[in-house]
Amino acid sequence: MYSIYLKYINFWGDVMRLFNLLITFLFIVSLAACGGGGGGSPPDNTDNTQPADPDPTPTPDPTPVISGFNFTLSEGDFWEYKWDSVKRITDASGTDIDNDNGRLRLTLGTPTQINGINTYKLIVAGNSTQYSSNFLRAWKYLAINNNQLLGSKDGLTLEVLFDGMTGYWPGTGLFNSFSNLVVATQSTIDNNYITSPAISISNSSSSNQCEYFPGYGTICTGDVDSTLREKEYYLPNIGPVGAYYYSSTYYGGTYPQSFTTTRNVGLVATSFLGDVISDDLEIESNDSKTLAQTVRVSVPMTGYIKRNDPGTSDSQVAANTVNPDQRIADWYEITVATSSSRSIALSFSGTFSDLDLYLFDGNGLKIGESHGDNQGTGIYTETISRSLSAGTYYIGIQAFTTRASGRKSEYTLLFR
């Protein structure tokens, strides 16, 4: 009996031990579920990160609003323009009308880097001086990047001249300085030089000292009324093709006057259409022998000059009461390979101009001259012909008289 009792006791002892183990296990589990007794949910350490795409597809560049303005620029590319302008001055005595015109060529020179962008030095040749004022803005470099035409005035920073990516930008242009945000729109350029659908940017403003009063109408208390309208035109894969400018100012009061200026610029040739250059244009400044521009044999050089242009005085030049400082404003350099007879011809438009032609050797000694009375004789050419030995020579052009109102006279120089 005793042995049976012991077995009975041992059996229930084992049961109790198993029961205690079960209670302990449930207690531990409950603590873990409660965050160690601190309440709240346990942190979720599950890694839900999706595996990276081993070959992700790159995000495409935004589509430009205006396509065709990401074309390639190269050294030697050029745009050539012609322009004309009319200035009207009206007062009590009547209206005075003054006309002006010229040619302008923009050529890309050697490339450089500005802010990591390939940029080209801008070579300006010809005449952009209207009534003693240069209407071409002072750009020294041009570039194209990301459907934008960019310009630099200082070689350090770039400004947007045309933005084909967005179609709008803070106002600036190649020829005009817009004062507001400009928006590119479809338009047409139509002047004496080019007629074509084009993309234009524009700016207009007006101001006066007039105000509308209900019941009384418009009352003007001041004497000044002004209007300004500016436009520039661009074509895809070409760039700037022209410009328009209109300015009008009216002064009232006892002696009323009005001043109006209109200017049109149009593209006449460009390397982007396969055109080639057949002549050379003067590059300012060439007002001394050290800055003389090279004239090529049998290639016409077109230049522009007016009396009192900056230049170099030379005692060997004829002096007169009109041009007493004996100044030569335009200097050119020629090279003779072998001794031969040569001619230098200067021709220019009549009526307003009287120009004189001089030839100097490499040491600056005058060896030829031609300075007839062009207006008196009605012959608007000057010529020097003589034998020249091999070497370098300098041509000087003096403006005895030129057109009124500070306008430049156009001439053609030919060395044979």
Provide the pLDDT for residue 41. 46
The total number of residues shown for the chain amounts to: 416
Domain ranges of the chain: 78-273, 280-415
Provide the pLDDT for residue 134. 76
Q: Please give the C-alpha separations between residue 241 and each of 143, 265, 279, in angstroms, as whole numbers.
A: 16, 8, 20
How far is residue 298's CA from residue 413's CA, in Å, rounded to a whole number? 10
3-state DSSP assignment of residue 313: strand
Residue 11 φ then ψ, to 5°: -60, -50
3-state DSSP assignment of residue 33: helix
How far is residue 166's CA from residue 65's CA, in Å, rounded to a whole number? 6
3-state DSSP assignment of residue 8: helix
Provide the pLDDT for residue 1. 41
Provide the pLDDT for residue 130. 67
- Which two tokens mark 131? 């009534």
How far is residue 131's CA from residue 390's CA, in Å, rounded to a whole number? 41
Q: What is the pLDDT of residues 265-317, one digit of tens each?
A: 999 999 999 999 999 999 988 999 999 999 999 999 999 998 888 888 888 88
Provide the pLDDT for residue 400. 83
Provide the pLDDT for residue 132. 59
379 Cβ contact partners less than 8 Å away, ≥ 6 residues apart: 372
The reply to whether CATH 2.170.190.11 applies to domain 280-415 is: no
Answer yes or no: are the C-beta atoms of 232 and 242 closer than 8 Å.
yes
In the block, tokens 């050419």 appear at 381
Residues 220, 226, 229, 230, Cα dihedral to 10°: -150
- Which two tokens mark 137? 């803005």
Q: How far apart are the first and last CA of the chain?
A: 149
Other beta carbons within 10 Å of 270: 20
- Which two tokens mark 21? 């183990």
Could you write out the DSSP letters of every residue in 199-247? EEEEEEEEEEEEEEETTTEEEEEEEEEEEEEEEEEEETTTEEEEEEEEE
Average pLDDT, the chain: 83
Answer yes or no: are the C-beta atoms of 126 and 104 closer than 8 Å.
yes
Q: Give which of 100, 139, 140 is closest to 306, Cα–Cα.
A: 100
Provide the pLDDT for residue 293. 97
Provide the pLDDT for residue 302. 95
> Parallel, antiparallel, or unpaired: how do β-strands 257-270 and 78-91 relate?
antiparallel
Residue 90 φ then ψ, to 5°: -120, 130
How far is residue 405's CA from residue 87's CA, in Å, rounded to a whole number? 10
Which stretches in the chain have pLDDT values below 50? 1-13, 15, 18-19, 21, 24-29, 31-43, 47, 49, 52, 55, 58-60
How far is residue 195's CA from residue 168's CA, in Å, rounded to a whole number? 24
3-state DSSP assignment of residue 147: coil
> Position 184: which residue type?
A
How far is residue 154's CA from residue 121's CA, in Å, rounded to a whole number? 11
Q: Please give the C-alpha separations between residue 259 and each of 87, 91, 134, 208, 262, in angstroms, as whole numbers.
A: 7, 9, 18, 15, 10
Q: What is the pLDDT of residues 213-251, one digit of tens each?
A: 565 555 555 567 889 999 999 999 999 999 999 999 888
Phi-psi map region of 135: left, alpha, beta (phi>0 left; psi -120 to 50 alpha):
alpha
Answer yes or no: are the C-beta atoms of 175 and 243 closer than 8 Å.
yes
> Position 13: which residue type?
G
